[in-house]
């Protein structure tokens, strides 16, 4: 059992994780806006939500350091195609096994049509995006699934900026210094932009993984007995960027409504869906904007996540504006 005073966190940093985070973000971009080869490869994967790439984060973790993009490509090629589909379908994530059933996932990975249909129709599996994220990949056999994933990863590696390895190494150094100076829970909260992790029985370890994908602030994943906290490196924005984030967050009436609900203690996303009548994905989008602006914090683990108001946000916003426009003497 992991309890707060014994919780420790470790770092896993490298371009392998950054490629997968980048593919998750890129998948949400209209394919016509992408380089032709990459757009075509992502169309073959057929996941406009990008969820499938996040389920593959355990592949480089299992392969071990160095966590390079090239090692990721080799690891994907070396995996048995059925086992790769097990990873893709969440066989090594305890919450997905609890939700959908380990036997069902195993059968679907091997190509059982009844099991595949069950997973695709499940309302909560794959964050409710199972059909959108998996229908294309699961319509082909395991070797073809592997080929399509490898092709997209190879193209993403080709397009990865050569400076990213150095940026990720610097982010890892910063995180290591913070972990040495603070408790694990405090370090997690600071690195992950206000995420307050609640230790869970299933997680024997917490792995902090920085990435550089701007459109993907925070990913909370699981692999085997590890809780993965995948966060955007350099999440601390400059003053001007923070003002812009605050302005974006408050520019939408629905976000203001959601912020008011969170301030009144309506903190579960399902409760916010019920209170606003918005879809789950829309609510998550609005909450991400509010969290990015520092107006709300996220607390919890796989059992339950709760959004909380950040009472310090008002003073922080006032200080930002004071720095921007000055104050009366």
- Note the pLDDT tens digit of each residue in 153-185: 999 999 998 999 999 999 999 999 999 999 999
Residue 58 confidence (pLDDT):
97
Residue 238 confidence (pLDDT):
64
Tell which CATH architecture fits domain 239-325.
Orthogonal Bundle (1.10)
- pTM reported for the whole predicted model: 0.88
- Residues in the chain, pLDDT under 70: 1-6, 235-238, 327-329
Contact residues for 73 (Cβ-Cβ < 8 A; gap 6+): 150, 153, 154, 157
Tell me the longest C-alpha to C-alpha distance in the chain.
Answer: 73
Residue 194 confidence (pLDDT):
86
308 DSSP β-pair partners: 297
CA distance 231 to 178: 14
Helix-strand-coil split of the chain, %, nearest 5:
60, 10, 30
Residue 253 confidence (pLDDT):
94
* Stretch(es) of the chain classified as CATH 1.10.10.10: 239-325
């Amino acid at each position: 059992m992991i309890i707060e005073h014994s919780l420790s966190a470790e770092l896993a940093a490298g371009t392998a994780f950054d490629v997968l985070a980048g593919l998750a973000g890129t998948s949400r971009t209209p394919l016509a806006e992408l380089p032709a080869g990459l757009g075509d490869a992502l169309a073959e994967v057929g996941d406009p939500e990008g969820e499938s790439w996040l389920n593959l984060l355990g592949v480089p973790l299992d392969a071990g350091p160095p966590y390079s993009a090239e090692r990721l490509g080799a690891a994907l090629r070396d995996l048995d195609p059925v086992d790769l589909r097990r990873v893709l379908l969440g066989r090594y994530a305890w919450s997905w096994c609890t939700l959908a059933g380990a036997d069902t996932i195993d059968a679907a990975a091997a190509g059982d049509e009844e099991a595949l249909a069950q997973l695709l129709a499940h309302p909560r599996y794959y964050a409710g995006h199972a059909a959108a994220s998996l229908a294309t990949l699961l319509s082909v056999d395991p070797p073809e699934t592997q080929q399509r994933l490898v092709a997209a990863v190879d193209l993403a590696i080709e397009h990865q900026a050569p400076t990213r390895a150095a940026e990720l190494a610097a982010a890892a150094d910063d995180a290591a210094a913070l972990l040495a100076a603070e408790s694990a829970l405090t370090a997690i909260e600071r690195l992950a932009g206000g995420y307050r992790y609640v230790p869970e029985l299933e997680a024997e370890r917490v792995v902090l993984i920085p990435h550089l994908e701007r459109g993907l602030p925070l990913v909370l994943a699981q692999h085997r007995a590890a809780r993965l906290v995948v966060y955007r490196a350099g999440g601390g924005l400059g003053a001007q960027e923070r003002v812009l984030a605050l302005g974006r967050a408050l520019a939408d009436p629905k976000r203001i409504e959601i912020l008011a609900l969170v301030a009144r203690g309506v903190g579960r996303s399902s409760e916010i869906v019920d209170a606003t009548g918005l879809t789950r994905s829309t609510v998550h989008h609005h909450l991400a904007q509010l969290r990015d602006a520092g107006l709300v914090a996220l607390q919890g683990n796989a059992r339950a996540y709760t959004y909380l108001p950040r009472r310090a946000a008002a003073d922080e916003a006032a200080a930002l504006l004071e720095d921007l426009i000055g104050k009366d003497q």
